[in-house]
Chain A
């Protein structure tokens, strides 16, 4: 039997959050954490968590699993369970709506700040804006982000300043558009980032890299943004 300890909070019923323990029979199988949650949902219909694709593509079920952020659907028990105990909490730093469901508003506000879309003031060509294979290759490791928020909510700089520091997820996307050969707003994008908080609150501790379920490297992207700012200003 696996002991699953889950963060519970129902704002209309509970005065404060608490941890609830469940015993689950996994049948000796190496289930994914999401499978365990689905088994628990049968026991307790009131348990709230987000999930959708159940294969690490949609980014809905980011949560804190035994102390480390990750996607429940692609995290096998064998990777995280120690002493037969699984502890599940919502992603840190963002307000809890209920149980494992968090309010991601602040996260999306930061994402919105980096203007995550192509800006191009040149006349649109007849068919499409072409890129060479080399130019396209610059977007690898950037475009794959699914905005699950595992990285930003693992970052102490984002914990302390979620309203001012863009956070690793937003900055990875900021660089994704700075690196895009079809984007012509590089100067405006960089000017928007040159303050002591937006980019420079990153101290390079690389929690974001450790937890990213897609194996991406926001710290490296932030380094590239710094280099672009430095090149532009010196």
Chain B
């Protein structure tokens, strides 16, 4: 058993599962957006706003946003533990990534929900 304290969920299985589930959500969201834009080539601002006013769409977007944060954290944490061998550099990288994910998530929630 290898002990880690900076990984997303501490357990390898939990990180692995979150990575897979978030990937499916992100894929579904990406496909939805591409198909929506293809089906509405002449989209105007009012229509776009109406789409994001819909509660279902807001929940879907928030789910995708949280998935993106978790997915990035797990992925970049893995990359940092593979390639950054210097402890201070690795820890600093992990903290910067964590901070950025936090900022993007809060910012995204503010944008989506108009808080």
A contact residues vs B (CB 8 Å cutoff): 156-157, 160-161, 164, 191-201, 226, 229-230, 233
Contacts and interface: CB of A to CB of B under 8 A. Distances in A.
Given A195-B11, A196-B7, A226 B1 contact: no
B81 A194 contact: no
A200 B11 CA distance: 10
Interface of B: 1-4, 7, 10-17, 78, 81-83
B81 A161 contact: yes
Contact of B4 (A156, A196, A233): A196
A198 B1 contact: yes
A160 B15 CA distance: 19
Contacts of B1: 191-195, 198
Given A191-B1, A195-B1, A230-B17, A200 B81 contact: no
B12 A198 contact: yes
Contact of B12 (A156, A157, A160, A196): A196
A195 B12 contact: yes
B13 A197 contact: no
Q: Chain B's interface: helix, strand, loop or mixed, by majority?
A: helix
B91 to A, nearest CB: 16
A164 to B, nearest CB: 5
A160 B83 CA distance: 7
B4 A197 contact: yes
A63 to B, nearest CB: 25
Given A191-B1, A192-B1, A194-B1, A200 B13 contact: yes
Contacts of B17: 230
Given A201-B78, A233-B13, 17 more contacts: A160-B81, A160-B82, A161-B81, A193-B1, A193-B12, A195-B2, A195-B3, A196-B15, A196-B78, A196-B81, A197-B4, A198-B2, A198-B12, A199-B12, A200-B12, A200-B13, A230-B17
Nearest to B12: A200
B2 A229 contact: no
Nearest to A229: B13
Nearest to A157: B82
A213 to B, nearest CB: 27
Given A157-B82, A160-B83, A195 B4 contact: yes
A199 B2 CA distance: 10
| Closest CB pairs A-B (n = 10) | A200-B12, A160-B82, A197-B2, A196-B12, A195-B2, A196-B7, A164-B2, A229-B13, A195-B12, A200-B16
Nearest to B81: A161
A230 B7 CA distance: 18
25 contacts: A157-B82, A161-B81, A164-B2, A192-B1, A193-B12, A194-B1, A194-B11, A194-B12, A194-B13, A195-B1, A195-B3, A196-B2, A196-B7, A196-B11, A196-B78, A196-B81, A197-B2, A197-B81, A198-B2, A200-B13, A200-B15, A230-B13, A233-B11, A233-B13, A233-B14
Contacts of A229: 13
Contacts of B16: 200, 226
Contacts of B12: 193-200
